Amino acid sequence: MSNVMIHPSAIVDDGAQIGAGSRVWHFAHVCGGAHIGGGVSLGQNVFVGNRVVIGDNCKIQNNVSVYDNVTLEEGVFCGPSMVFTNVHNPRALIERKSEYRNTIVRRGATLGANCTVVCGNTVGAYAFVAAGAVIIRDVPDFALMAGVPARQIGWMSAWGMQLDLPLAGSAEAVCPHTGDRYLLTEGVLRREAADTEGEPT
């Protein structure tokens, strides 16, 4: 683990893989089977389980537990105290470790503070989950989700700007920050990326 900052109060178990330039802050605990990319920030009191993969440049804020069977692709933001689960129907008296469901958060997605992602679902690339929302089904790429349970209320650009688009049908919009065009076709949004300096790819 070259060029990794680990605070003296943090615990990193033997076997954990952490990429260069990552930072593990106060009272965090990384289990030995975890695979963590480079440039990752694990905030205060973050827990990372054994069967967890965290991609490069993810930012995990304070008080987040990333449990077994959760995969975060590159550049995922996890807001303070947001929640992952890995058992669909937990009971204290029944062990269900063999029933963990996979949760995948695609590249560039944002999970707002205090939101919950129920296990077995995929959050699409560059999706934006509002603070306090509860995800109970798959989330499309670029979708803006809010509420309990969460429903789609709009679309977000890769830069994090809300796009003036309907939820369904066909239309197009331009990110006000980058000028990139977004094309909505039958409810599926795709980006025609410009070669704009600093724009996520």
Which residue segment(s) compose the domain that 152 sits in? 5-162
Structural domain tally of the chain? 2
Average pLDDT over residues 178-193: 93
Residues 133 and 183 in one domain: no
CB atoms closer than 10 angstroms to residue 179? 10
99: phi then psi, degrees, rounded to nearest 5: -110, 15
Strands ordered across the beta sheet of 116-117? 83-84, 116-117, 134-135
Query: Is the domain of 140 the same as that of 177?
Result: no
pLDDT at 200: 53
Backbone phi, then psi, for 97, in 5-degree steps?
-65, -25
Q: Looking at residue 115, which CATH number applies to its domain?
A: 2.160.10.10
pLDDT in tens, 23-67: 999 999 999 999 999 999 999 999 999 999 999 999 999 999 999
Residues 117 and 27 both lie in one domain: yes
Q: Tens digits of per-residue pLDDT, 58-109?
A: 999 999 999 999 999 999 999 999 999 999 999 999 999 999 999 999 999 9
pLDDT digits (tens, 9 = 90+) for 136-160: 999 999 999 999 999 999 999 999 9
Q: Please check whether residues 142 and 106 belong to one and the same domain.
A: yes
Considering the domain architecture, whether residues 111 and 67 belong to the same structural domain is answered as yes
Compute how many other C-beta atoms are within 10 angstroms of the C-beta atom of residue 74.
18
Same domain, 67 and 132: yes
The secondary structure of 61-96 as a DSSP string is: -TT-EE-TTEEE-TT-EE-TT-EE---SS-BTTB--
pTM of the model: 0.94
| 100 plus 183 within the same structural domain | no
Q: Are residues 190 and 177 in the same domain?
A: yes
167 and 92 fall within a common domain: no
Q: What is the CATH number of the domain that holds 197?
A: 2.20.70.110
Confidence of residue 2 (pLDDT cuts 50, 70, 90): confident
